[in-house]
Amino acid sequence: LKSQYQMLLSAQSLWSRISTGYNMIETLTNKLNELRLHIEQTEHNENALEMEVNRLRSLCHEKEYTYMLSKSQNIIQLRGDLKEGVNCSVCGATHHPYHSDTILDQSKLIGEFKTEYELLQVELNGKESQLLETRLDLTSAKTQRQTLEEMLVAVRQRQSEDVSEWRIFSNLDKTFRDCSAD
């Protein structure tokens, strides 16, 4: 009886480890699934942000170029000579959306270009920092996933060893034969 009692105590200890192992495997698997979904969503967000940043960067360069060019003295003089319906001496266009008759109008137009450029630059900076945060989050999530996968492999290996060891106690009772997660 003492021997059987000692075997049952050992079986109880092992069963506790096995039960904890199955719970741990389930918990780690659920966390890995959540992380996988988070990584997929973050990668999708990163791609969308990257496209938006590239679009904003391109627009920003265009606005900066327009702003810098519009400050040129030659452009200011050419713009003053434009008349709606008359061909431009530079490009030949007959419609002149940036035509200005006075220096005040031209200064106002240049100010608008500058404001548009600065607003786009601020938006671009915000999107770039958001993209950086997304990339950091993605890197962190991938690292966490790798760590959890390594832990899961170790827990499964230990679980397999514990289940193999459980066979020693299967002769104590007929209900001890099944050692599955169920």
Whether the full predicted model's pTM is greater than 0.85, yes or no, is no
At residue 174, the pLDDT reads 74
26 has a pLDDT exceeding 80: yes
141 against 174, higher pLDDT? 141
What is the pLDDT, as a whole number, of residue 11? 85
Q: What pLDDT does 25 receive?
A: 94
> What pLDDT sits at residue 159?
92
* Average pLDDT of span 91-102: 56
pLDDT at 160 over 80: yes
- pLDDT at residue 35 above 90? yes
Who's near 100: CB < 8 A, 6+ residues apart?
Answer: 79, 80, 106, 108, 109
Residues 101-134: b if buried by 16+ CB within 10 A, e if exposed: eeeeebeebbeebbebbeebeeebeebbeebeeb
Instruction: Give residue 110's pLDDT.
Output: 74
Q: How far apart are the first and last CA of the chain?
A: 30
Q: What distances in angstroms separate CA 43 from CA 31, 39, 69, 146, one per listed residue?
A: 18, 6, 38, 16
Q: Which residues contact 21 (CB under 8 A, 6 or more apart)?
A: 155, 158, 159, 162
Tell me the pLDDT tens digit for each residue of 110-158.
778 888 889 999 999 999 999 999 999 999 999 999 999 999 999 999 9
At 84, is the pLDDT very low, low, confident or very high (cuts 50, 70, 90)?
low
CB-CB contact of 60 with 124 (8 Å): yes
If one compares 111 and 61, the residue with the highest pLDDT of the two is 61
User: Quick check: 73 pLDDT over 90?
Assistant: no
Q: What gap in Å lies between CA 178 and CA 28, rounded to an integer?
A: 23
